[in-house]
C-alpha cells in the first residue's frame, strides 16, 4: 500500500502545470524578454513590436497581441501566425501552441 501511495505522489509531481495567459498577461510575459527555445535558438520580444530569433540564421520579425493570442510575422513571408501561450507553474517557461497543436517551449533568460 505504501508503494502505491509513493508512486501516485511521484506521478503527480512529475505532471507539469501550465496556465493560459490572456491579453494583458501576454504583453507582460513577452515584452522586453528573451527566451531560449528547445532547438537552442533564442528569441527576444522588443517593446517596439519587433521580435528577433537568433540561431545559425538570425531573423527579425514582428509580434503583436491579438485577443488572447501572440501573433508573429517573419518577412519575407506574408501573414501572421498566432499562438496560445501558457506559463509554467514555476513561471520560468512559456509554451506556445499553434492552431494545429504543435508546441514549442522557451525558457526565460536573464536580461
The per-residue pLDDT for range 71-91, each reduced to its tens digit, is 999 999 999 999 999 999 999
Total domains in the chain come to 1
pLDDT category at 12 given cuts 50, 70, 90 is very low
Flag whether 73 is in a domain: yes
| Residue 3 maps to a domain | no
* Tens-place pLDDT, residues 30-45: 999 999 999 999 999 9
Decide if 68 contacts 23 (C-beta within 8 A).
yes
pTM (two decimals): 0.82
Collapsing DSSP states into helix, strand and coil, what is residue 106? strand
Domain assignment present for 76: yes
In terms of residue numbers, what domain contains 70?
Answer: 17-108
Q: Which three cell numbers stand for residue 100?
A: 494545429
**Inside any domain, residue 12:** no
The yes-or-no verdict on residue 111 having pLDDT over 80 is: no
6 part of a folded domain: no
The CA distance from 85 to 87, in Å, is 7
22 domain-assigned = yes
70 within domain boundaries: yes
Q: Residue 25: which CATH number?
A: 2.40.128
Mean pLDDT of 1-29: 66
Amino acid at each position: 500500500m505504501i508503494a502505491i501511495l509513493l508512486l501516485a505522489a511521484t506521478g503527480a509531481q512529475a505532471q507539469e502545470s501550465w496556465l493560459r495567459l490572456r491579453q494583458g498577461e501576454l504583453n507582460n510575459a513577452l515584452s522586453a524578454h528573451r527566451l531560449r527555445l528547445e532547438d537552442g535558438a533564442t528569441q527576444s520580444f522588443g517593446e517596439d513590436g519587433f521580435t528577433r530569433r537568433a540561431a545559425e540564421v538570425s531573423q527579425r520579425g514582428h509580434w503583436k497581441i491579438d485577443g488572447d493570442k501572440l501573433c508573429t510575422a517573419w518577412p519575407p513571408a506574408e501573414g501572421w501566425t498566432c499562438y496560445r501561450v501558457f506559463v509554467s507553474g514555476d513561471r520560468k517557461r512559456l509554451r506556445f501552441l499553434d492552431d494545429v497543436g504543435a508546441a514549442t517551449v522557451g525558457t526565460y533568460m536573464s536580461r
